[in-house]
Amino acid sequence: MNPLVSTAWLADRLHDPHVRAVDASWYLPAAGRDAVAEFREGHIPGAVRFDLDQASDPASPLPHMLPSPERFAGLMSGLGLGDDDTIVAYDASGVNLSAPRAWWMFRVFGHPRVAVLDGGLGAWRREGRPLEPGDPAPRPPGRFTARLDGTLVRDAPAVLEILRAGGAQLVDARSAGRFAGTEPEPRPGLRGGHIPGSRSVPFQSLVDGSGRMLEPEALRRLIRAAGVDPARPVVTSCGSGVTACAVALALEVAGTPEPVAVYDGSWTEWGGRDDLPVEAGPPRPAGP
């Protein structure tokens, strides 16, 4: 299905039992926002809360690593989601901060009927559409099946192989300052800079002032200006694998012919290990 749906599309289907809204809002502690409290203040009617931290690997020392298929299936079934449902993920950040991570995780676990709500909760509110307070009403457990699609995820050895042999472009979704190593990382103990040879496409640059995704042609221009060829394979990264998914989403909207993979450990792993190479400064000049 289309990776983006409009607020009008979702509003027309609020009473369809197989179209399920998922509030995937998540924030770094420094943001000073409480995603759970905001959900209880008002969410899209019928939406369930997708807890990104809970839907991560509890055994990993790294944040937001993919859980096992069994854990993901159990959590989604517990939310009342099933294999026949069309999932619409949204967040309240205004910049597609975390909804694309939920979108990507559903796809990684073999559920293709998933999209991101263009403009998120901000667009929904501005249009005066209905909101529902409190916790969602209990639903019977769903029957959600999860099978890992390894083509959509990469680990550190796979990224090292890209540095050695090529085969894919590396795209970093962090801010330009974090990419260059001139801005501190929000997590302590990480080196500054980026994976050698990466291109910089800050995830905030992919949306307009209303929080909606740029049009496909504008995305293609932005991506090419960053030195990325959307016709070639891409692996995205960020701080902890969350906003990397926003770049993956944008590339799909832009019409990339191949599925985009995400480096799940991202900078928290790469920048926290002394045995992995790092570059600082702006991106290398694009080749001919």
114 lies in the same domain as 201: no
Residue 282 has pLDDT above 50, yes or no: yes
Closest CA to 160 of 50, 273, 287, 34: 273
pLDDT at position 287, please?
57
Residue 279 belongs to some domain of the structure? no
pLDDT at position 138, please?
87
Instruction: Report pTM.
Output: 0.97
Neighbours of 48 (CB within 10 A): 22
pLDDT at position 288, please?
47
137 lies in the same domain as 174: no
> Is 238 one of the annotated active-site residues of the chain?
yes
Rounded-to-integer distance, Cα 132 and Cα 109, Å: 29
Closest CA to 197 of 230, 231, 222, 234: 234
13 contacts: CB under 8 Å, gap ≥ 6: 19
117 lies in the same domain as 208: no
Residue range 10-39, pLDDT digits in tens: 999 999 999 999 999 999 988 999 999 999
Q: In what order do the strands lie in the sheet with 169-172?
A: 153-154, 261-263, 234-237, 169-172, 199-200
Rounded-to-integer distance, Cα 151 and Cα 259, Å: 8
- Residue 27: give the domain boundaries: 4-148
Rounded-to-10 torsion of CA 160, 275, 150, 101: -110
Residue 121 belongs to some domain of the structure? yes
The sign one gets for the Cα dihedral 39, 40, 45, 49 is positive
217 lies in the same domain as 90: no
Hey, which residues does 207 pair with through a beta bridge?
Answer: 213
117 contacts: CB under 8 Å, gap ≥ 6: 4, 5, 6, 7, 10, 21, 88, 89, 90, 99, 123, 124
- Residue 40's CATH number: 3.40.250.10
16 lies in the same domain as 131: yes
Residue 282 belongs to some domain of the structure? no
Mean pLDDT, residues 67-76:
98
28 lies in the same domain as 85: yes
Mean pLDDT, residues 243-248:
98
Catalytic residue among 238, 242, 245, 246: 238
49 lies in the same domain as 181: no
CB 25 within 8 A of CB 40: no
Q: State which amino acid sits at residue 45.
A: P
Residue 178 belongs to some domain of the structure? yes
111 lies in the same domain as 182: no
176 lies in the same domain as 124: no
